[in-house]
Amino acid sequence: MHRFTAVCLAGAFCFLISGSRAEASNLLPAAEEGIASVMTEAYEADPEADQKVLEEMTPSEYDGICIAQVNDYVNVRSEPNEESEILGKLYDNSAGTIEEETDGWYKITSGSVTGYVKADYVVTGDEAEALAAEVGERVATVTTQTLRVRTDASTDASVLGLIGEGEELTVTNEQDGWVQVSIEEGDGWVSTDYVDLRTDFVQAESKEEEEARLAEEEAAKEEGRRRAAEVEAKANSSSESSTQTVVGSGSGSSSGNAVVSFASQFVGNPYVYGGTSLTNGADCSGFVMSVYANFGVSLPHSSSAMRSVGYEVSLADAQPGDIICYSGHVAIYCGNNTIVHASTAATGIKYTSPANYRNVICVRRIF
């Protein structure tokens, strides 16, 4: 009640100023006193009244959002009818921004695509805002050279783990200048002073982008087949035999199993933050990078960057040698629902099962 009165008085005061300078001049002290009195009463009734008014007047970050709710995708068209040209696809749970509404169609912008989708296939308003919090992924990108992840939202809390600059972490909670993020050692807290925050949504894909993606995936597969043939030829020409037990043996390509066999011999060796030595110590991405380097494959020393190498497959289709990506972590799939990875300083390089012991962001295949 007080908040509503205060806003009305402020509006009346502005009207008086524009209507008559002389009258406004005379009324200025009285008006100021009246507004101040009402605001004081509002504050006394509710000390957080000002903040609540600001929150109510501030647009939601999801204002104007629409989210596709379909089995696979809905076409984005050039005009608001089903006969017009298809410009792209808005996939299930993908988000766009509504530009206008026309006869049961929404004109939206999503990614690089601007066009029309049938209103029946997207949700909007409060329903979309509620869904956005579920389907959007909150991400923190590290902006300092080495970020300390702490056990609690305080600089006095003990350090849970260390994360390098540029790494992207999944945010699980937020409070008072701190965000909780997921890393291999568990969920910990980092100051927002040292990360950039954003919310990621899957966006529409244009016809040209889809064609380029499919061509890139096919090229990556072809390169994988070429590398696999090289690895197999090298293995066949070698007179050396190994009694090493291969966790992933019996499924997948011979080259993928060769990667697992090579990686497995380093189980028990130490984890060292920033390290790349398979014997003296490596961190998670350093381990994967160095294992693949043995097969002539150059990979980045970054768990986030590894989400873009090779081509993507589903976790259900994972084969030995595939790279499993998590928030702030990366591993090599062995088969039998098991991974081998440089886990933590406490555990070193080890096997872990099941592979989805943490939320899997993506699976990438090199061979």
- Kindly give the parts of the chain with pLDDT less than 70: 1-60, 235, 237-251
* pLDDT in the model for residue 24: 38
> Is 184 within 8 Å of 160 (Cβ atoms)?
no
Q: Residues 6 or more apart from 9 whose CB is under 8 A from it?
A: 31, 34, 35, 38
This model's pTM is above 0.85: no
Q: Shortest CA distance to 163 belongs to which of 201, 198, 191?
A: 191
Q: Shortest CA distance to 308 belongs to which of 112, 141, 168, 142?
A: 168
Q: Is the dihedral of CA 19, 20, 23, 24 positive or negative?
A: positive
**Could you tell me which residues are beta bridge partners of residue 23?**
none
* pLDDT in the model for residue 41: 55
Q: Other CB atoms closer than 10 Å to residue 193's CB: what's the count? A: 9
- Domains annotated for the chain, with CATH where assigned, are 2-57 (no CATH), 65-134 (2.30.30.40), 138-200 (2.30.30.40), 205-237+244-365 (3.90.1720.10)
Q: CA separation (Å) from 141 to 191, 195, 197, 201?
A: 12, 5, 7, 16
* pLDDT in the model for residue 221: 87
Q: How does DSSP assign 39-95, residue by residue? A: HHHHHHH-TTHHHHHHHHHSPPTTTTEEEE-SSSEEEEESSSSTTSPEEEEEETT-E
* pLDDT in the model for residue 50: 60
> Is 366 within 8 Å of 294 (Cβ atoms)?
no
Beta strands at 348-352 and 311-313: parallel, antiparallel or unpaired: unpaired
* pLDDT in the model for residue 230: 79
Structure tokens at 136: 């959007």
Q: Residues 6 or more apart from 328 whose CB is under 8 A from it?
A: 161, 163, 167, 168, 169, 170, 181, 182, 183, 184, 303
Place of tokens 């966790």: 247
